[in-house]
Structure 1
Amino acid sequence: MRIVGLIMLAGLLAGCSKHEDAAKSQVPAAAPVPGEVSIPPDSPKLLQIKVETVKETEVPVGEVDAPGKIEVNPNRVSRVVTPVAGRITQVFVKLGDAVKEGEPVATIESPDADVAISAYLQADSALGQMKANLLKSQADLERTRDLLEHQAIAKKEVLNAENAMVQAKAQVEQAVAAREQASRRLAILGLKAGEFGQKITLHAPVSGKVLELSVVPGEFRNDTNQPLLTIADLSTVWIASDVPETAIRFIKLGESIDLELSAYPGEHFMAHVKRIADAVDPTTRTVKVRAEMQNPQGRLLPEMFGRIRHVEGLQTMPAVPAAAVLQGQSGSYLYVETGPGRFRQTGVQTANRVGNLLGITSGVQAGDRVVTDGVMLLKGN
């Protein structure tokens, strides 16, 4: 009996042990922490993940980066028009030619030339006649005054002579003004008085290059507002840029900006802000900014495209390789190493770039270790 009891007791103990083991096996495993990724130490993924220590660096703040285009300096461009209707007889320049101020660029044959010369000759003749009348009225006045002294005439005759001389002086002044006007007309047309049949020669009003040419010999022009050619001094040019309204506060009149042109990769040019528009473009939400720059060698040509950059200052802050930062629905984030094979997804606020580095204003600090390569392997876990 004693032996049987021992056997039954052993059976009960074995049953209890199995029940406890089964109960233990049913205890749920600890839930993973949201945003954390663990990779087993023997996983080949670890070999593809690169981790670097966050360091501080100087990052530009108040940075402006916008497209730009070279324009002609509006203060140094001149459009040559014909002062009269007529036929173009000669054109002395070609598109792209460099010209000096005062250099002949074209000639025009026009009946208005003879009209202007005739008007001057008539005005000059009229002035001579008015001067002769004035001399006569002065002589008449002296004679009547002498007769009045000898009581040979009434005082009324003297008054009439004085009035005649005043009128003669006024007529001379009017004639002088008329001849000056006719003379200015000749000067504008580049004509000499007394020589009929002259051709009108147009001269370059400024030194520069011929940017536009829209006339050929033999063509008749009667529109005195339509330019025959455009000459621009390209020793200085403007860079025009549409700056986003969110960045316009960083641009000030007189400040220097940096320019990079597609035509000259790797080269930098400096310009100074001359104009900032008074209104925002409602379609693009940008503000037009124009800056002036020197162009002594003439390398900067109108319509060249590039980008302007301007930095308000530098600020020391943590920076990570740009490839380490991902974009999610809630914003930018990266992965911080918390232990061997363990990584935590961390939201960050980013600043401007410095080369391949991206400034971080919050989320990580110097000394943290972040994943810089293989981040997509963690994103998929």
Structure 2
Amino acid sequence: MTDATSAARWRAGILAAVLIAGGGGYWLGLSGQSDAPTEATGSGGRKILYYYDPMFPNQKFDKPGKSPFMDMQLEPKYADEGSGTAPGVSVDPAARQSLGIRVVAAEMGSIASTFDVNGSIDFNQRDVAIVQARSGGFVERVYRLAPGDVIGAGAPIADLQLPEWGSAQTEYLSVKKLRKPELTAAARQRLRLMGIPEGVIAEVDRTGRTGGRLTVRAPIGGVVQTLNARVGVTLATGQTLAEISGLGTVWLNAALPEAQAALVKTGQRATATLTAFPGESFAGRVIAILPTASADSRTLTVRVELANRGGRLRPGMFATVALGGDARPALLIPSEAVIRTGKRAIVMLERGDGRYHPAEVVTGRESGGKTEVLRGLAAGEKVVASGQFLLDSEASLTGIAVRALEAAR
């Protein structure tokens, strides 16, 4: 009986413990339910999800009060925002001034399509003269010249003695004495084919004397690039005596970023300015866009031809050239209103009811703080030019869809 009594007592104790634990849990449950905070509601019974600082929309707060970041009150975020109203970010009128929101209307205007690139002056490689010996002989005299000298057209370079010319002139005079016009014409043509100038042939006709001496002169004015004539040097037919680069026109080779290659066309006007001549500009035109790009700088070479009156533009000078066409009408907005995400460009539109929503746009040229809008916006629509990044961040947090290009009016 003692063992049975003991077992009964153990069972009674365990049952009492279970009852006490269950009752305690029930009491705690009721107590916790009565102490649970009621769901926050705002004016009109609207459900408040959380509070936030418009300047730092990523930070959420459970209770209203002053922002720990800015000297302003926290704004409530309602659960029904976006339902029953047009989608967009709503900003209290009192907070707009604190946020510095500035709205500007898109309007038609004109934007200059010119832009500046840098380059340097170079010789016009199409204005080059090669002075050669027309016949075999030797150099008797070289005039006081050196590479780099600037000479005028007709300036003497060297005196040559050409024995072949002398013998050919003697034969010509002998044929002429025969008084047979056809033979005389053939002999005269032979002198021309040997490169003897008409003036020398005319002098042989007039005087009846032959001579194999020739003074070689510069065919154009410019810079002596090379001078191979030396006194006593034996010459072969076609041997180069000098090379002269003209200075009447020069080239400006400018480095054009490949991203702007489509804005430049052959034949467009260009205006160059040089640090050597402050306050002056030099007009020219684009004569070529070279077909290869620099792999290091990702630029194309644009060749601009400039008139060089007085030889003031010297190869090697640094220059800035304005390229592009004339201004044309365009839809313009402030450049700071454009938010570039890396994949697309976005602006924040004002709906007129205190709400803002993002819209995708395609931009074009940019100049003077204005950006051309090619698609996605219509004249008269208002964009946010200041404070747009805060609105865009809030729109992203709330999942507001960006207006597509096709939806623009």
Superposition TM-score tier, normalisation by shorter sequence: 0.5 to 0.7
Question: Which of the numbers 106, 114, 138 marks the counterpart of 1:86?
Answer: 138
Structure 1 position 251, deviation (Å): 3.0
Structure 1 position 125, deviation (Å): 1.8
Q: Match for residue 105 of structure 1?
A: 157
SS of residue matched to 2:171:
helix
Structure 1 position 257, deviation (Å): 3.1
Structure 1 position 43, deviation (Å): 0.9
In structure 2, the CA distance between the partners of 1:187 and 1:363, relative to structure 1 (3 Å rule), is: closer
Question: Which of the numbers 44, 54, 57 marks the counterpart of 2:104?
Answer: 54
The residue type equivalent to 1:81 in the other structure is Q
Spell out, residue by residue over 1:223-260, the C-alpha distance to the aligned partner (whole angstroms, 9 max, x if none).
635351314142x334456876985586364x533334
Structure 1 position 313, deviation (Å): 3.4
Are the equivalent residues in 1 in contact too, given 2:175–2:187 (CA < 8 A)?
no
The residue type equivalent to 1:22 in the other structure is P
The residue type equivalent to 1:313 in the other structure is A
Q: Distance in 2 between matches of 1:76 and 1:53?
A: 57
In structure 2, the CA distance between the partners of 1:120 and 1:324, relative to structure 1 (3 Å rule), is: same
Q: Match for residue 70 of structure 2?
A: 43
The residue type equivalent to 1:19 in the other structure is S
In structure 2, the CA distance between the partners of 1:336 and 1:245, relative to structure 1 (3 Å rule), is: closer
Are the equivalent residues in 2 in contact too, given 1:77–1:233 (CA < 8 A)?
no
Alignment of 1:146-185 (within 5 A): 169=180, 173-182=182-191, 185=195
Structure 1 position 23, deviation (Å): 4.9
Alignment of 1:1-381 (within 5 A): 19=34, 21-24=36-39, 29=49, 37=57, 43=70, 51-54=101-104, 56=107, 58-60=109-111, 70-73=121-124, 76-83=127-134, 84=136, 86-87=138-139, 89-108=141-160, 110=161, 113-128=162-177, 130-131=178-179, 169=180, 173-182=182-191, 185-187=195-197, 194=209, 198=213, 200-206=214-220, 208-215=221-228, 217-218=230-231, 220=233, 222=235, 224-226=238-240, 228-234=242-248, 236-239=249-252, 248=262, 251=265, 253=267, 255-261=268-274, 267-273=280-286, 275=287, 281=292, 291-304=304-317, 305-320=319-334, 322-323=335-336, 325-333=338-346, 347-361=360-374, 362=376, 368=382, 370-372=384-386
Spell out, residue by residue over 1:57-85, the C-alpha distance to the aligned partner (whole angstroms, 9 max, x if none).
63437667666554544564322233345
SS of residue matched to 2:49:
coil
Pairwise CA RMSD: 5.3
The residue type equivalent to 2:133 in the other structure is T
Q: Distance in 2 between matches of 1:227 and 1:104?
A: 12
In structure 2, the CA distance between the partners of 1:349 and 1:245, relative to structure 1 (3 Å rule), is: closer
The residue type equivalent to 2:70 in the other structure is S
Calculate the TM-score normalised by the size of structure 2: 0.56
Q: Would you tell me which structure has more helix in proportion to its own residues? A: 1
Structure 1 position 203, deviation (Å): 0.6
Are the equivalent residues in 1 in contact too, given 2:229–2:242 (CA < 8 A)?
no
SS of residue matched to 1:22:
coil
Q: Distance in 1 between matches of 2:174 and 2:116?
A: 68
The residue type equivalent to 2:152 in the other structure is K
Instruction: State how many pairs are aligned.
Output: 315
Calculate the TM-score normalised by the size of structure 1: 0.59
The answer for unaligned runs of 5 or more in structure 1 is 1-11, 132-168
The residue type equivalent to 1:228 in the other structure is A
Are the equivalent residues in 2 in contact too, given 1:350–1:358 (CA < 8 A)?
yes
Are the equivalent residues in 2 in contact too, given 1:271–1:294 (CA < 8 A)?
yes
Q: Match for residue 144 of structure 1?
A: none
Are the equivalent residues in 2 in contact too, given 1:68–1:306 (CA < 8 A)?
yes
In structure 2, the CA distance between the partners of 1:92 and 1:52, relative to structure 1 (3 Å rule), is: farther
In structure 2, the CA distance between the partners of 1:371 and 1:78, relative to structure 1 (3 Å rule), is: same
In structure 2, the CA distance between the partners of 1:233 and 1:248, relative to structure 1 (3 Å rule), is: same
The answer for unaligned runs of 5 or more in structure 2 is 1-26, 42-46, 60-65, 73-94, 398-409
Q: Distance in 1 between matches of 2:71 and 2:145?
A: 74
Are the equivalent residues in 2 in contact too, given 1:260–1:307 (CA < 8 A)?
yes
The residue type equivalent to 1:125 in the other structure is S
Q: Match for residue 163 of structure 1?
A: none
The residue type equivalent to 1:307 in the other structure is V
Are the equivalent residues in 1 in contact too, given 2:153–2:218 (CA < 8 A)?
yes
Are the equivalent residues in 2 in contact too, given 1:348–1:363 (CA < 8 A)?
yes
